[in-house]
Amino acid sequence: MPHHPWLQARFADIRPKAIAALARYFRDIDLAEESFSLACVKALDVWQKQGLPDDPFAWILTVGRNAGRDIIRKNNTRDNHKTLQAQESTNHDAFDDVPQENEFRDDVLRLLFICCHPKLSIQDQSALALKIVIGLSVEEIACAFLVKPKTMEQRITRAKKTIAKDNIPFQSPDLIERAERLKTVSLMLYLLFNEGWSASSGEVQIKVLLCEEAIYLTRLLLSLFPSQTETMGLLALMLFQHARYPARTDNDKLILLEHQNRKLWNQSMIAEAHVLLEKALRHGTPGSFQIQAAIAGVHSNAKAYGVTDWFEIERLYAVLYEFEPTPIVRLNHAVAIAKTKGVGIALAILDDLGEELQNYRWFHSTRAAFLFESGQKERAKTAYQTALTLTPTEPEQAILREKILECEK
C-alpha cells in the first residue's frame, strides 16, 4: 500500500467493491486480490502524474480485469476450467450498472455471504472477510482476534483452500442459505464499519466511505430480512456512531468524546437510529447489536458529556457481557464502572485482563487514563508508551504523545 495518504484512503474506499466485482468476474479470490493489487500499483504511477480519473472505481476495475486476464494467459498451471470461465466472462461487461439479480444485487454483500460459507469455521469466515473484503493485513487481523500472526495466516490460507477445493459458487445463496449465514454476515458488516470508524493503523483515523459502505450494505441486508431485530440493532448502532462523525475530527486531529461539540452531531441520523432500536426492542428478542446500540443511544441522549447516564451504560454493559463474555466487552464495562464506582475498582478489573489484552492498544491507553486519574503518573506514562508501540493511527499517536507530556508535568 502506498505511503501517500490520499491514495491510501482512495484505495481503501474502492477495495471492497473492486475485490467483490473482480472475484465475481474471475471466480477466484486470489486472482481478484492480485489483480486489484496490480491495478493499484499502476494507479500509483498514473494518478500521481495525471491526477484522479473521473471514475477511479471504474478505472481500477478495468485495469484489474486486464491484469487478471494477463495473469491467466501467462500462468500455465491454472486449470482449463477457470481459464474458460474467465474467457467466457469477456463476452459481456461484468461491471455494468444493471443488476445481475433483482433481490441480491450488491457484489460486496455477495462476497460476504461467500466468505461466510458454512463449510468454513466462524474463525476462518471472519479472518477471510477481514483480509479479502476490508483489506486488513494479517498482523492487524491477528491483533484484532488476539492471536499470533502465524496462526491467523494459517486460518486465511485454509479458508481460501476450502473455497477453491470445494468449488464454492460465486453467486448469491438461496433464501434458506442466506438466513443460515445472516448472523455471520452481520458480524462482518460490523467489523467493516469498525474499520472505517476507527482504523486499525495508518495515517487516517476515519475512513468515511467505508463507514457509509457498511451502512449501505446493512440497509440492503435489512431489506432482505426486514423482521430481523439484530439487523435493526446493527443499523441503529452504525447510525448512532456515524452521527458523531462531524464532531470527531478537527483539521485531522482526533477529538475524544468528552470534548466533542455535540451540536455538530447529525440529529436526523440519531432520530432514525432511535426509531430502529425501539422497533427492534419491541419484539422482545434482545441481542448483542441491540444492546450496543442502546449504549450508543444513551450517549446520544446526553446534551453534554458531564450529564451522561453512566449508571445506565454500566447496566447495559453488564447485560452485554452475558451475551458476549469477551475481554474487550469487559474492558468497556470497566470504563463505565470507573465513572460509577471509581477508578480503583476499574483498575482491579483491568489487572485481570492484562494477559489476554497485552497486545490490544486500547487496553493500555485505558489503563493509563485510570492510572493518571488515580495520581500514578509514572505508571500511566509507561502504559501510554506501551500503547504507542502497538501501531496506533497517526491521530491516535498525537493524542498519546500529548498524554505522555501531561504525565511528565
CA angle 359, 362, 364 (to 5 degrees): 70
pLDDT tens-digit readout, 154-171: 888 888 888 777 666 555
268, 291 contact by CB (below 8 A): no
pLDDT tens-digit readout, 179-213: 677 888 888 889 888 888 887 666 777 878 778 88
| Helical axes 149-165 vs 138-145, angle rounded to 10° | 110
In three state form, how does the secondary structure of 129-146 look? HHHHHHCCCHHHHHHHHC
Lowest mean pLDDT among 122-126, 165-169, 244-248: 165-169
The domain locations on the chain are 1-97, 99-221
Read off the pLDDT band of 364 (50, 70, 90).
very high
- Considering only residues 340 and 47, tell me which one the structure prediction assigns the higher pLDDT: 340
User: Which of 76-85, 169-178, 307-316 reaches the highest mean pLDDT?
Assistant: 307-316
- CA 63/CA 45 separation, integer angstroms: 13
- CA 28/CA 33 separation, integer angstroms: 9
**Would you call 40 helix, strand, or coil by DSSP?**
helix
User: DSSP label at 356?
Assistant: T
Pull the grid cell for residue 409.
508535568
341, 333 contact by CB (below 8 A): no
- Write out the E strands in 188-325: 249-250, 253-254
Pull the grid cell for residue 73.
494467459
CA-based Rg of the chain, rounded to a whole angstrom? Answer: 22
- CA nearest neighbour of 204 among 402, 400, 10, 401: 10
- CA 28/CA 143 separation, integer angstroms: 27
